[in-house]
Amino acid sequence: MNQSQIILITGASSGMGKETALRLIAEGHIVYGAARRVEKMLDLVEAGGHVLLMDVTDEAQVQAGIDRIIAEQGRIDVLVNNAGYGSYGSVEETPIDDARRQFDVNLFGLARLTQLVIPHMRERQSGKIINISSVGGKIYTPLGAWYHATKHALEGWSDCLRLELKPFGIDVVIVEPGLIATEFGEVLVDPMLERSGEGPYQGLTKLLAQATKVTYEKKNAASPPSVIADTISGAIRASRPRTRYAVGKLARPLLFFRNLISDRMFDRLIMSQVDR
């Protein structure tokens, strides 16, 4: 599949989303980058792309974005569901409203956008839906219960969707990034410390905050976002893409050990990386 595709990618204002959008524009695709921070996507416009103001939890903005693409291009060939964030803190101390927000962004907003795109793909009997999950959809880390819950849910949701859409010629692809050099660590640490940095979990919280900062500050500890852009580009070109792509630092080793060793042994492996 080498011809120009009409592509919508969410979370395109930074990190993996922006890198992917720029890559796909450079490859000659017609790309609509969507995010809440439109001012952060001016470089996409300069590169020849289009930008949409879109909070994936805002029904009106999501519908308006789809309507605009269909009006201007007549179709959507590829949807890249990349918008998401990590909400960390102990289960006990994380307000349920915060947990709901995590699900609204990482799962329900993504699902609603997908619902609106599917009829256009189904009508053409073709399309690709690429969902950016995480190795966190298969493994777990302390204080990340709500984040991991959304990614575990996304994995199962995507598998079911793949079965439903196969008869209509629509592929569903899951990308499972490992450690990627993005804003993820910065967004994670401060709210986690606010929720759990002074209570009964403060010891674990401070250890995890320090470990996260050290990891993301260390040279070459995380893969560049370009590895995700490479993967998405390859999945778009493939006539029969894989159902899952695990890419980036530690992605494959973590999944390998998760499947190989017991829960208790994996618990010790994860905690050894926090308490260093």
List the catalytic residues.
13, 133, 147, 151
Tokens of 33: 């980058």
The amino acid at 29: H
CA distances from 164 to 152, 168, 171, 172, 213 (A): 19, 8, 10, 10, 41
For 33, half-sphere exposure in the C-beta direction (CA atoms, 13 angstrom radius) is: 31
The amino acid at 84: G
Residue keyed to tokens 């999950």: 133
- Kindly provide the b/e burial profile for residues 65-90, where b requires at least 16 CB atoms within 10 angstroms of the residue's own CB: bbeebeeeeeebbbbbbbbbbbbbbb
**In sequence order, which ranges of 54-201 are alpha helices (DSSP H)?**
59-73, 96-103, 110-124, 145-165, 184-196
Q: For residue 88, what is the DSSP state? A: -
CA distance 262 to 127: 39
Q: Which residues sit opposite 31 in a β-bridge?
A: 7
Tokens of 47: 């590169």
Angle between helices 202-217 and 263-274 (to 10 degrees): 70
